Amino acid sequence: MHLVVESPIGPLGVSVEGETVVGVRFAASGPVDGNGPAADQLRAYFAGELTDFALPVEMRGGSDFERSVWAEIAKIPYGEMVTYGDIATTLGDVGLSRAVGTACNHNPVPVIVPCHRVVGAGGKMVGFGGGLERKRKLLELEARVALERSWGI
């Protein structure tokens, strides 16, 4: 099943098989269909009400290296950022930073598996399959929500 979910970063195309999310893509077209757990959780995420998705996700395709990068990305806590170099170092070779960036770009389930939380050295905004403006908006949303929660707002 293919859903189109409206969001502050534009319509998201969400591919779901049963209850399992198998794909998310930016700038989707088609009639908006906001039914089901994936749509509900995405709406709650963008409303600042959800910080951890509780959806079954199947990461299809990708090389073994890409899958290892995606697994690391999935561990990044809400509202936090890591660098491409951090992930490369975790995987055993800081020289793989560019390959980490390529793997992030191939993430089949962006937003839910938060590749937007991966930034360049020194926090520099670089690379994002959905465009830097979407990445900035996602990071700003998470920073605002994390701050509000820490203040008890």
For 14-74, where are the alpha helices, taking DSSP H only?
A: 37-46, 64-74
pLDDT, tens only, 32-59 = 776 789 999 999 999 999 999 999 999 9
* pTM of the shown model: 0.92
pLDDT, tens only, 63-73 = 999 999 999 99
**Looking at the domain 64-151, which fold is it?**
Arc Repressor Mutant, subunit A (1.10.10)
pLDDT, position 36: 86
pLDDT, position 90: 97
Catalytic residue, from 55, 76, 96, 115: name it.
115
Catalytic annotation on 115?
Answer: yes
Per-residue H/E/C for 63-82: CHHHHHHHHHHHCCCCCCCE
**Domain residues of the chain, as ranges?**
2-46, 64-151
